[in-house]
Amino acid sequence: MRQKMAVGNWKMNGTGAALAELQALAAAQGAARAEILICPAATLLSRAADVVKDSSIAIGGQNCHAATAGAHTGDISAEMLKDAGASAVILGHSERRADHAESSEEVGAKVCAAWEAGLMTVICVGETLTEREAGDTLNVVAAQLKASLPDGATGENTVLAYEPVWSIGTGKVPSLAQIAKVHNFIRAELTTRFGAEMAESTRLLYGGSVKPGNAAQIFAVSNVDGALVGGASLTAEEFIPIISALDAS
């Protein structure tokens, strides 16, 4: 059985005061069966790791460079994330792909660097509204998977997150049938490329306007093993009900 997983992506939000929310989450999650990963801003990584050191919550980064070191001002290597207390990193998020023009090939190189540093990768794929309306969703997801997911992927070093770009932070959520279609497709693609064992052990998360009010319905969808949550992960008050819905699914 795949362990359910809830990932909180804090994006460019939070100063030291936000660690109080993490403390509240750590205090409340003792009975959670799902794996919980919080990915704060890089400035909070080491402090966040210290806050959750006596809990089962894991800390992750939001991005890393493909190189281990060098003249890359403002960037952070996977080894640096590991050293700061991270055990995982989000890669290929649509905001990185759009705002920084990251190609799937670049994402794939970062994934390899993260694996080399001993980090689990949460790799994001998803289509824009234009691509959805053109009927290209599965083609887009397949192409992103092919280039972003290197050989060597396993259920231990890889988590995949389907995030339709048009749903992130907008309040718009695909129908349950649309979510199921993409998640079933991803599972089938993994089976074809890596074999049934890897495919069945790899967790597939849904991301895009996941809230306490819709979480239970989404978690009941075929091949949805959890969620990558943005805004609703910033407070324990909103994130705890999502984790509870996941535990109950």
Q: In the structure encoding, which two tokens stand for residue 211, read together?
A: 């809230």
Q: What is the per-residue pLDDT for 122?
A: 98
The predicted pLDDT at position 168 comes to 79
The one catalytic residue in 93, 102, 106, 183 is 93
- H or E element: which one contains 237? helix 236-248
CATH code reported for the domain at 5-248? 3.20.20.70
Between CA 189 and CA 175 the distance in angstroms is: 21
100 belongs to the catalytic site: no
Alpha helices in 100-235 (DSSP H): 104-116, 129-133, 137-148, 176-194, 196-201, 215-219
Those residues whose C-beta lies under 8 Å from the C-beta of residue 83, and which sit 6 or more positions away, are none
Residue 222: the pLDDT is: 92
- Distance in angstroms (rounded) separating the CA atoms of residues 198 and 38: 25
Q: Do 149 and 192 meet the contact criterion of CB atoms below 8 Å apart?
A: no
Residue 30 is predicted with a pLDDT of 66
How many CB atoms lie under 10 A from the CB of residue 161? 26
- Tell me which residue has tokens 């984790």: 243
pLDDT in tens, the chain (249 residues): 799 999 999 999 999 999 999 999 999 876 678 999 999 999 999 999 999 999 999 999 999 999 999 999 999 999 999 999 999 999 999 999 999 999 999 999 999 999 999 999 999 999 999 999 999 999 999 999 999 999 999 999 999 999 999 887 777 878 999 999 999 999 999 999 999 999 999 999 999 889 999 999 999 999 999 999 999 999 999 999 999 999 999
Secondary element (H or E) of residue 50: helix 45-51
Select which of 35, 95, 102, 163 is catalytic. Answer: 163
At residue 159, the pLDDT reads 98
116 belongs to the catalytic site: no
Other Cβ atoms within 10 Å of 217 Cβ, number: 13
Annotated domain spans of the chain: 5-248
Given this model, what pLDDT does residue 155 score?
A: 97
